[in-house]
Amino acid sequence: MPPRIRPATPADLPQILHFIRALATYEKLLPEVEATEEKLGATLFGPRPAAECVLAFTDGDTPAGFAIFFPNYSTFLARPGLYLEDLFVSPEFRGRGIGKALLRHLAGLAHQRGCGRLEWSVLDWNQPAIDFYESLGAERKTEWTICRLSGPALAHYALPANLG
């Protein structure tokens, strides 16, 4: 039986936070998680949602995985895109096509919305994920390096005295 995928609702916030923490644990990044149900509620379901979330269910109504994504834009294509921030399938449900179903769902949304691409990042040590994505036909863009301002560096650079 294929997984059932649906948009998340505010009632799903505890499950979404559970999946985020499980993903962070897998990626050895749990200390970096600042997300709370309140913060997620404001950013996923508030007046100006910053992202969207879909949940995958299997074996009836058992939550098996999730994906969080948001719009981006390609100047080269002059078209919108979707950026997949997180995709996670609980270990006990892996190998059952749930990750593939989530990506297929997002590809369908991107196509319906006229997007030129669906993009995401993967940790360079996560070979199982890399192999999975490549098996779907995803192209790795190894010539790009992610740059990030966050935390104190972002706050410092955002100060008016530092913008010149």
Active-site positions read 133
Residue 109 CA, chain-centre distance (Å), reads 14
Residues 6+ apart with CB under 8 A from 115: 79, 80, 81, 82
* CB of 136 closer than 8 Å to CB of 100: yes
Per DSSP bridges, beta strands 79-89 and 118-120 are parallel
105 phi and psi angles, rounded to 5 deg: -60, -45
Task: Order across the sheet with 4-7: list the strands.
Answer: 4-7, 52-58, 62-74, 79-89, 118-120
* CB of 21 closer than 8 Å to CB of 33: yes
